[in-house]
């Protein structure tokens, strides 16, 4: 049995696979994607179920992000239920830096993932298929 999580973020986490000596813009997008996977990887070895895709605005981001925003959704799967939780993800991602100024529509005061701040929350975690 596996356990799945959806990750929603206002940060561009496009999986371009770009290398350092290729397109600099695509490389920065890919670095954000790897940052997400590596942060999760501190606790578990996630399996990417679907690469990040753009979806319609998810309504629970920080209050400063009004109006229509670009939102990336990443689906991951893990093998053991107790190995990862929403609380663990929120704790692990709190103030992890990212690269901004890519394809985001949101403007960030600081380039870190905000998991709890009601004004500037820019990443959400939801468990599904429980």
Query: For residue 44, what are the contacts with CB-CB under 8 A and spacing of at least 6?
Result: 78, 79, 80, 83, 84
Residue 94 tokens, joined: 């709190």
Model confidence at 128, pLDDT cuts 50, 70, 90, reads confident
The answer, yes or no, to whether residue 1 has pLDDT greater than 80, is: no
Question: pLDDT tens digits, residue range 110-123?
Answer: 999 999 999 999 99
State the average pLDDT over residues 43-59: 90
The helix/strand/coil state of 89 is helix
Domains of the chain and any CATH numbers: 3-128 (3.30.70)
Looking at 12-21, 40-49, 73-82, 109-118, which range is the least confident one? 73-82
pLDDT category at 130 given cuts 50, 70, 90 is low
Model pTM score: 0.94
CA 49 distance to own-chain centroid? 14
């Amino acid at each position: 049995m596996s356990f799945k999580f959806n990750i929603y973020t206002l940060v561009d986490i496009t999986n371009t696979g770009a290398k350092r000596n290729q397109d600099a813009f695509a490389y920065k997008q890919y670095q954000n994607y790897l940052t997400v996977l590596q942060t999760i990887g501190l606790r578990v070895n996630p399996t990417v179920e679907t690469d990040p895709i753009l979806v319609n605005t998810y309504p629970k981001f920080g209050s400063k992000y009004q109006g229509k925003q670009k939102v990336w959704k990443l689906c991951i799967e893990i093998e053991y239920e107790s190995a990862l939780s929403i609380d663990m993800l929120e704790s692990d991602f709190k103030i992890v830096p990212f690269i901004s100024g890519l394809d985001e529509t949101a403007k960030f005061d600081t380039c870190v993932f905000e998991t709890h701040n009601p004004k500037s929350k820019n990443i959400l975690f939801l468990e599904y298929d429980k």
